[in-house]
């Protein structure tokens, strides 16, 4: 007589319990790893776009330095000419697309630093410009990117917003050598580009 082999109810419940515990441990880590991958990939792509635009500008003998301390021609107006399918949102605290003040007031990077022009790329990435020409002794040219769009939170520096400063003929991640920001906050962009694990740390600590 053939004997049927089967699991007991207790064995099934124990197995399901083990699977549940393992899932509870691994799934959040997998989700976080995926988020880190997406953020890092979008960050690198956005930085590449900025670098490509600057290279094309220089080919046309247009140097970004020309726009520092220049109040007549906003830098973003020239920048957008080298982007395909991008939307010109204008400038100001409330531009033609959205309110910079409303969406970025808690970003750690105040609206006053991102109100000199706004471009939304074809992929939804927001490019926010600051040209501090009104301070001749300390003029800066910044581009801040919001890699997942202004509608998607948290809109915080180091998580989905990253800052680049024009230094010595190129845009460098904030926190890199030569940039003016030296605090831990402003090193986030440089660290995030060079170490994806730092992005994981920021996801856990920056709310």
Is the pLDDT at 5 greater than 80? The verdict is no
pLDDT in tens, 13-70: 676 667 666 666 666 677 778 888 999 999 999 999 999 999 999 999 988 888 776 6
Mapping DSSP to helix (H, G, I), strand (E, B) and coil, where does residue 13 land? helix
Whole-angstrom Cα distance, residue 170 to residue 166? 5
Nearest alpha carbon to residue 126 among 165, 189, 83, 169 = 83
Token pair, residue 22, equals 């393992």
Split at pLDDT 50, 70, 90, the class of 185 is confident
- What tokens appear for 74 in the block? 């906003």
Predicted confidence at residue 24, as pLDDT, reads 63
**Res. 136: pLDDT tops 60:** no
Q: State the Cα–Cα distance between residues 187 and 108, nearest whole angstrom.
A: 13
d(CA 77, CA 75): 5
pLDDT digits (tens, 9 = 90+) for 71-122: 577 899 999 999 999 999 999 999 999 999 999 998 888 898 899 999 999 9
SS (H, E, C) 63-100: CHHHHCCCCCCCHHHHHHHHCCCCEEEECCCECCCCEH
What does the alpha-carbon distance between residue 17 and residue 192 come to, in Å, rounded to a whole number? Answer: 37
């Amino acid at each position: 007589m053939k004997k049927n082999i089967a699991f007991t109810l207790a064995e099934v419940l124990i197995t399901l319990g083990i699977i549940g515990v393992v899932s509870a441990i691994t799934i959040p880590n997998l989700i976080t790893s995926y988020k880190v991958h997406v953020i890092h990939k979008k960050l690198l792509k956005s930085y590449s776009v900025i670098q490509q635009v600057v290279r094309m500008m220089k080919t046309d003998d247009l140097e970004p330095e020309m726009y520092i301390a220049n109040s007549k021609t906003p830098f973003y107006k020239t920048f957008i000419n080298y982007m395909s399918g991008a939307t010109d949102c204008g400038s100001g605290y409330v531009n033609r697309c959205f309110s910079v003040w409303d969406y970025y007031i808690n970003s750690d990077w105040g609206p006053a630093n991102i109100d000199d022009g706004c471009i939304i790329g074809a992929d939804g990435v927001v490019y926010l410009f600051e040209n501090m020409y009104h301070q001749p002794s300390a003029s800066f040219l910044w581009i801040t990117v919001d890699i997942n769009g202004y509608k998607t939170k948290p809109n915080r520096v180091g998580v989905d917003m990253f800052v680049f400063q024009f230094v010595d003929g190129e845009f460098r991640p904030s926190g890199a050598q030569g940039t003016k920001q030296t605090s831990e906050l402003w090193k986030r962009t440089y660290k995030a580009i060079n170490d994806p694990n730092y992005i994981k740390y920021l996801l856990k600590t920056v709310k």
